[in-house]
Amino acid sequence: MNELSELYEEIILDHNKNPRYFNNIPEGSNRTAEGDNPLCGDHYTIHLTVENGIVEGVGFEGSGCAISKASASLMLESVLGKTEMEATELFKGLHGMLTGDRSHESDSVEFGKLEVLNGVCKYPMRIKCATLAWHVLNAALKNTEQAVTTE
Amino acid sequence: MAYVNFKDKHYHHPDEAMIHSTTVDLMYVKRDFPILYKPVHNQPLVYLDNAATTQKPQSVIKALYSYYTSKNANIHRGVHSLSEQSTLAYESAREKVRQFINARDAKEIVFVKGATEAINLVAQTFGKLAVKKGDEIIVSELEHHSNIVPWQILCEQNEAILRVIPMSDSGELQIEQLDAMLNERTKLLAVSHVSNAIGTINPIKRIIQKANQVGVPVLIDGAQATAHLGVDVQALDCDFYVFSGHKMYAPTGIGVLYAKKKILETMPPYQGGGDMITRVSFKSKTVYNQIPHKFEAGTPNIGGAIGLGAAIDYLSKFEMNQISAHENQLLEYATNALQQIPELQIIGTAEHKAGIISFVLDDIHPHDIGTILDQSGIAVRAGHHCAMPLMERLGINATTRVSFGLYNTFTDIDRLLSGLQNVLRIFKPN
What CATH number does residue B408 fall under?
3.90.1150.10
Whether B426 and A64 lie within 8 Å, measured CB to CB: no
Nearest to B375 among A3, A39, A129 (CB): A3
Question: B327, B335 in Cβ contact below 8 A?
Answer: no
CA dihedral B299, B301, B306, B308 (to 10 degrees): -150
Q: Are residues B184 and B310 in the same domain?
A: yes
Q: Is the pLDDT of residue A125 over 90?
A: no
Q: How far is CA B160 from CA B104, B130, B149, B153, in A?
A: 32, 11, 13, 10
Q: Is the pLDDT of residue B195 over 90?
A: yes
pLDDT band, residue B18 (cuts 50/70/90): low
Question: B161, B152 in Cβ contact below 8 A?
Answer: no
Distance CA B249, CA B228 (A): 11
Nearest to B375 among A4, A40, A66 (CB): A4
pLDDT score recorded for residue A107: 63
* Cis peptide bond prior to B292, omega within 30° of 0: yes
The number of residues making up chain A comes to: 151
CA dihedral B25, B55, B58, B312 (to 10 degrees): 80
Which residue is closest to B397 within chain A, CA to CA?
A: A41
Q: Are residues B237 and B330 in the same domain?
A: no
C-alpha distance across the termini of chain A, in Å: 54
For chain B, how many structural domains are there in total? 2
pLDDT band, residue B15 (cuts 50/70/90): low
Whether A8 and B382 lie within 8 Å, measured CB to CB: no
Report the candidate in A93, A90, A117 with the shortest Cα–Cα distance to residue A105: A93
pLDDT score recorded for residue B25: 62
Which residue is closest to A9 within chain B, CA to CA?
A: B426
Q: Is the pLDDT of residue B86 over 60?
A: yes
**Strands B277-279 and B255-259, sheet pairing:** unpaired
**Tens-place pLDDT, residues B371-422:** 999 999 999 999 989 999 999 999 998 999 999 999 999 999 999 999 999 9
Average pLDDT over residues B188-203: 98
DSSP-based three-state secondary structure for A83: strand
pLDDT band, residue B53 (cuts 50/70/90): very high
Nearest to A65 among B367, B384, B422 (CB): B367
DSSP-based three-state secondary structure for B227: coil
Q: Which amino acid is at B358?
A: S
* B55 inside domain: no
For residue B358, list its beta bridge partners: B347, B401
DSSP state letters, A88-120: HHHHHHHHHHHHT-GGG--TT---GGGGGGGGG
A39 C-beta neighbours (distance < 10 Å), count: 12
Q: Is the pLDDT of residue B122 over 50?
A: yes
* B390 inside domain: yes
**Contact status of B384 with chain A (Cβ, < 8 Å):** yes
pLDDT score recorded for residue B78: 78
Q: How far is CA B424 from CA A1, B132, B364, B421, in A?
A: 13, 54, 9, 5
Residue B125 belongs to domain with CATH number: 3.40.640.10
Question: B318, B24 in Cβ contact below 8 A?
Answer: yes
pLDDT score recorded for residue A88: 94
Q: What is the ipTM of this complex?
A: 0.86
Mean pLDDT for chain B overall: 93
Average pLDDT over residues B4-31: 53
**Tens-place pLDDT, residues B330-370:** 999 999 999 999 999 999 999 999 999 999 999 999 999 99
Which residue is closest to A5 within chain B, CA to CA?
A: B426
**Tens-place pLDDT, residues A7-27:** 999 999 999 999 999 999 999
The DSSP element (H or E) to which A31 belongs, if any, is strand A31-37
Q: Is the pLDDT of residue B9 over 50?
A: no
pLDDT score recorded for residue A151: 24
Average pLDDT over residues B212-238: 97
Report the candidate in A85, A80, A82, A41 with the shortest Cα–Cα distance to residue A59: A80
Nearest to B371 among A39, A63, A126 (CB): A126
Q: Residue B383: its chain A contacts at CB < 8 A?
A: 39-41
* B53 inside domain: no
* B54 inside domain: no
Distance (Å) from the C-alpha of residue A41 to the closest C-alpha of chain B?
7
Q: Are residues B36 and B160 in the same domain?
A: no
DSSP-based three-state secondary structure for A46: strand
Q: Residue B375: its chain A contacts at CB < 8 A?
A: 1, 3-4
Nearest to A8 among B366, B382, B426 (CB): B426
Distance (Å) from the C-alpha of residue B117 to the closest C-alpha of chain A?
21
Q: Are residues B227 and B304 in the same domain?
A: yes
Q: Are residues B217 and B285 in the same domain?
A: yes
Q: Is the pLDDT of residue B257 over 50?
A: yes
* B114 inside domain: yes
pLDDT band, residue A2 (cuts 50/70/90): low
Q: What is the DSSP letter of A80?
A: T
Q: Which amino acid is at A89?
A: E
Distance CA B126, CA B134 (A): 17
Name the fold adopted by A2-145.
Sufe protein. Chain: A (3.90.1010)
Domain boundary among B315, B335, B363: B315
pLDDT score recorded for residue A147: 32
pLDDT score recorded for residue A39: 75
Whether B367 and A123 lie within 8 Å, measured CB to CB: no
Residue B143's domain spans which residues? 61-315
Q: DSSP strand E in B303-393: where? A: 344-347, 356-361, 378-379, 381-383
CA dihedral B390, B392, B393, B396 (to 10 degrees): 100
Q: Which of A2, A3, A4 to mutate to test the interface with B (most CBs of B within 10 A)?
A: A4
Q: Is the pLDDT of residue B293 over 80?
A: yes
Q: Which amino acid is at B214?
A: V
Distance (Å) from the C-alpha of residue A64 to the closest C-alpha of chain B?
7
Q: Are residues B328 and B354 in the same domain?
A: yes
Which residue is closest to A125 within chain B, CA to CA?
A: B371
Q: Residue A3: its chain B contacts at CB < 8 A?
A: 375
CB contact set of B312 (below 8 Å; sequence gap of 6+): B96, B97, B99, B100, B250
Cβ within 8 Å of A, B 352-381: 364-368, 371-372, 375
Domain boundary among B315, B332, B352: B315
- Residues of chain B above pLDDT 70, percent: 94
Q: Are residues B33 and B176 in the same domain?
A: no
Q: DSSP strand E in B114-261: where? A: 136-140, 161-165, 186-192, 218-221, 240-244, 255-259
Q: Are residues B383 and B407 in the same domain?
A: yes
Distance (Å) from the C-alpha of residue A96 to the closest C-alpha of chain B?
23
Q: Are residues B409 and B304 in the same domain?
A: no
Q: Is the pLDDT of residue B19 over 70?
A: no
Distance CA B387, CA B141 (A): 9
Q: Are residues B102 and B243 in the same domain?
A: yes
Domain boundary among B300, B315, B330: B315
Q: DSSP strand E in B71-180: where? A: 109-112, 136-140, 161-165
Report the candidate in A58, A65, A83, A20 with the shortest Cα–Cα distance to residue A137: A58
Q: Are residues B197 and B126 in the same domain?
A: yes
pLDDT band, residue B430 (cuts 50/70/90): confident
pTM listed for this prediction: 0.91
